[in-house]
Amino acid sequence: MKNNRKNTWIFLMISMMFLSSACSQEKATVKKKPNILYIMADDHTTQAFGIYGSRLAKLNPTPVIDKLAKDGVIFDNCFVNNSICVPSRAAIITGQRAQTNGVIDLEGSLRPENQYLPIEMGALGYQTAIIGKWHLHEEPAAFDYYKVLPVQGKYFNPDFRVKGNGQWPDNIEHTVGHSSDVITNSTLDWLKNERDPNKPFFLMHHFKAPHDDFENAPRYDDYLKDEFIPEPESLYDNKNNGSVATRGQNDSLTRIIGSSVSRRNLIRNQAMNIYADSSIYKNYRDADKIAASEYIPFNNTPEEQKITKKVYQDYLKKYLRCVKGVDDNVKRIIDYLDKEGLLENTIIVYTGDQGFMLGEHDYIDKRWMYEESMRMPFIVRYPKGIKSGIRTDAIINNTDFAPTFIEMAGGKVPDYMQGHSFKEILETGKEPENWQQATYYRYWMHLAHKHGNPAHFGIRTKKYKLIFFYGRYWVDTDNPDATWNKNSWGNDFTRKTPVAWELYDLEKDPKEMNNLYNDPAYNNIIDSLKVELITIREQLNETDKNYPHIQKVIDEHWND
């Protein structure tokens, strides 16, 4: 009897030891999962980096981020699905395209149950947080913690909506300082005081900067003060870029299409910010009321070029001062992770929510399918699992981010996500067999926000870009005679603009200065790209079957 009790006691002790060991191993396994820090700046375009080798690289605008990039992987062909804030962010959070996640413009929103990325990361044992710009209107309740700017937020003394601080959207916290500093302060505070050390973290740190209108912290007022900022050649001469859709017959629409650095665009140009109260600008006050037929092509005289040069220098310096503030604040985060021993087990991603036009083709803002607007910077550093010094031209887009993070965290990509994980590319620098060789783009907001960009879609491969400008606003299929609730867009978006195609040979013409659509030598390439475009639109649920008046235009002009 005593032996039986003794054996039972020994068995219980051994069992407890095994259980304790198993729990310790499980806990250790959780701890070994990499943290993921996703840093995204608003409108930080590839031209404003050193590593992307643009005309601005010699100014060394991003030394900290460049160092981060050289320690990891640099993507040269990362693209946005729609170069505007809300749809881009929705694609990142859902891993889905616009017509699947329902966010096609700036008024789109994501309900908590559709905030898939934090949901999936939470299910994998991650503590999730988002700090900074959110812009998806609904409460980011799927995150364990949030502290986000209301809509666009302010550059100085920004307010935040904070989880646990009352009911959305009245859960406001007031702060003092420049947004880039304050957002970083908030991230560091979360890492120090809110982070659960027993869990890996998934933290989205979103800067407001360098979104326009640019406002830098005062300490950067003299940064680049005496520097001459290199200009793009196309600022003064756009050559054969564009089409009748973007320029009109005999350049008649250049006065209203594409917001400009120069005074070319009568409705919105950067010169307005300098000369708004000056006699040099007085003739442009009511330009948006002028009928399109009355526009006279812009006379780019030496005097106008002198004005443009001054405006451009002011515009770029303000932008780059905001970028400098972002770069310095990234260093603060890296230094903290290093000090706390977290750096080596943290996957650090740096990107922008889209590209941005910095005077190329005399354009400002984004929205275009042109390279500077469509291309996203994308770098990843993770010493434990990614070799340094990798550079890849593999095509990825922002719907691929969520699947990749999920797989890097040890999960399986859900079937409802349309993006693809590029984990293998991160680890090997090589494209998997059958990796995507093209990406699809769609800008819906026809002539919106006084920027004057016509609606368009297209396909981008490594060698070519084919764009279709269909020149129409869309209507509700349940009420074809009424437009949707888009009055907040500004502009007369019901106006139709010319329909046209554009083709660019990106190997020969990387700056897209020569539209080759009417060159017979490219007929076979155009035919092949159109077939691919039809296929990719169907695969991604991005057709116009719900927009019959747009489909009618497509059918009528597909073979133009």
Which CATH number is 336's domain given? Answer: 3.40.720.10
Which of 379, 403, 438 is the last residue before a domain boundary? 438
What is the average pLDDT across 267-291? 59
- Confidence band of 272 (pLDDT split at 50, 70, 90): confident
Identify whether residues 476 and 422 lie together within a single domain: no
- Confidence band of 484 (pLDDT split at 50, 70, 90): very low
| Distance separating alpha carbons of residues 110 and 27, to the nearest angstrom | 34
pLDDT value of position 402 = 98
Establish if 91 belongs to a structural domain: yes
pLDDT value of position 486 = 56
Range in 31-35, 249-253, 282-286, 369-373 the model is least confident about: 282-286
Mean pLDDT rounded to a whole number for the chain:
90
Identify whether residues 434 and 448 lie together within a single domain: no
Establish if 126 belongs to a structural domain: yes
Establish if 15 belongs to a structural domain: no
Identify whether residues 375 and 484 lie together within a single domain: no
The percent of residues in the chain predicted with pLDDT above 70, rounded, is: 87
CA 527 to chain centre: 30
Contact status, residue 205 vs residue 180, Cβ threshold 8 Å? no
- Confidence band of 276 (pLDDT split at 50, 70, 90): low
Identify whether residues 60 and 162 lie together within a single domain: yes
The percent of residues in the chain predicted with pLDDT above 90, rounded, is: 81
Beta carbons within 10 angstroms of residue 68's beta carbon: 23
Residue 504: which CATH number?
A: 3.30.1120.10
pLDDT value of position 473 = 75
Using the predicted structure, report yes or no on whether residue 283 has a pLDDT greater than 70: no
Label residue 361 left, alpha or beta by phi (over 0 means left) and psi (-120 to 50 means alpha).
Answer: left
Contact status, residue 501 vs residue 517, Cβ threshold 8 Å? yes
Establish if 160 belongs to a structural domain: yes
What is the average pLDDT across 207-229? 97
Which of 417, 438, 459 is the last residue before a domain boundary? 438
Q: Which pLDDT tens digit goes with each residue over 506-517?
A: 999 999 999 999
Establish if 118 belongs to a structural domain: yes
pLDDT value of position 277 = 47
Cβ density class 39-50: b for 16+ within 10 Å, e for less? bbbbbbbbbbbb
Which of 423, 421, 429 shows the shortest CA–CA distance to 390? 429
Using the predicted structure, report yes or no on whether residue 287 has a pLDDT greater than 90: no
pLDDT value of position 293 = 52
pLDDT value of position 449 = 82
- Confidence band of 489 (pLDDT split at 50, 70, 90): low
Identify whether residues 434 and 457 lie together within a single domain: no
Q: Give the residue numbers spanning the domain of 479.
A: 441-557
Range in 115-129, 272-286, 398-412, 445-459 the model is least confident about: 272-286
| Distance separating alpha carbons of residues 414 and 402, to the nearest angstrom | 10
Identify whether residues 141 and 73 lie together within a single domain: yes
pLDDT value of position 29 = 43
Establish if 9 belongs to a structural domain: no
What is the average pLDDT across 42-63? 98
Identify whether residues 463 and 494 lie together within a single domain: yes
pTM for the predicted model, two decimal places: 0.91
pLDDT value of position 494 = 58
Identify whether residues 467 and 481 lie together within a single domain: yes
Which of 377, 408, 438 is the last residue before a domain boundary? 438
pLDDT value of position 314 = 96
Dihedral, CA of residue 93, residue 140, residue 379 and residue 48, to nearest 10: 110
Establish if 549 belongs to a structural domain: yes
What six digits make up the tokens of 187? 């991230």
Q: Which pLDDT tens digit goes with each residue over 309-367?
A: 999 999 999 999 999 999 999 999 999 999 999 999 999 999 999 999 999 999 999 99
What is the average pLDDT across 418-422? 98
What is the average pLDDT across 168-189? 98
Highest mean pLDDT among 38-47, 381-390, 488-497: 38-47
pLDDT value of position 260 = 96
CA distances (Å), 415 to each of 285, 332, 419, in order? Answer: 52, 38, 10
Which of 395, 315, 326 shows the shortest CA–CA distance to 357? 315
- Confidence band of 25 (pLDDT split at 50, 70, 90): very low
Which carries the bigger pLDDT value, residue 393 or residue 471? 393
Q: Which pLDDT tens digit goes with each residue over 298-320?
A: 999 999 999 999 999 999 999 99
Contact status, residue 36 vs residue 384, Cβ threshold 8 Å? no
Identify whether residues 449 and 366 lie together within a single domain: no
Name the β-bridge partners of 465: 460, 504
Return the CA Rg of the chain: 25
Identify whether residues 400 and 495 lie together within a single domain: no
Establish if 399 belongs to a structural domain: yes
Report the relative pairing of strands 73-79 and 378-381 from DSSP bridges. Answer: antiparallel
